[in-house]
Structure 1
């Protein structure tokens, strides 16, 4: 009965990897520098990564941490804006938003891999 829900959750959890890889290949058609292609792919997959981490936490821990994720994202944004204002005196929003978005990618990619490894280890322990 809930087979479609399980399949949907699995697709959502794997979607950031697929979006990242597809973005790398498609952006290779017009972006020559590999570092810029990686950054473009990271920018494209960040939102999917945040959603996947949310669903990963639901699957692993049994309840939603969406409020905490949103609180973390808002707090991180405020800290980055304050740091940029203190460092440069004037806020360059394009630069701040790009840095925020890429930091979110990095942090949520680490969290994604950590939850993935935790899920594997937890399932192996439960099988014993």
Structure 2
């Protein structure tokens, strides 16, 4: 059972889109509500994307920058909260966290795609010129 769980975690961290599709499909079948399925998939996939970006950074640069990722997320949370306060003049924590988490999904999706492209180009360049 432990091997199955670790293999599933490795697959989902390597390909977070599979996790997104799986969660979306399961919630959509259970609730028959597209919006709830979309939100559940986005909220749960954000964790996977954060770990995916971390492991891509470790693979590409052979150093862990998890502290930088967490610091980036905290700074983003502060700016997002200030922006919410300036526009609404009241902080509604549930809405702030939901918007912040969706923003993290978007940002880490871009980081993931960018790191995948960067990693493939870097490895291809190394293979071509270091033959």
TM superposition score normalised by structure 1: 0.85
List runs of 5+ in structure 2 lacking aligned partners.
1-6
1:66 is aligned to 66
2:30 is aligned to 30
- Pairs aligned (count): 122
Alpha-carbon distance in 2 for matches of 1:101, 1:123: 32
- How far apart are 1:8 and its partner, in Å? 9.4
List runs of 5+ in structure 1 lacking aligned partners.
1-6
Q: Cα distance 1:23–1:36, how it changes in 2: closer, same or farther (>3 A)?
A: same
Q: Cα distance 1:84–1:114, how it changes in 2: closer, same or farther (>3 A)?
A: same
- How far apart are 1:113 and its partner, in Å? 0.5
1:22-63: per-residue Cα shift (whole Å, max 9, x none)? 111101113444344223211111011101100100000110
Please state whether the residue corresponding to 1:30 is helix, strand or coil: helix
Cα RMSD (Å) of the superposition? Answer: 2.1
2:51 is aligned to 51
2:122 is aligned to 122
TM superposition score normalised by structure 2: 0.83
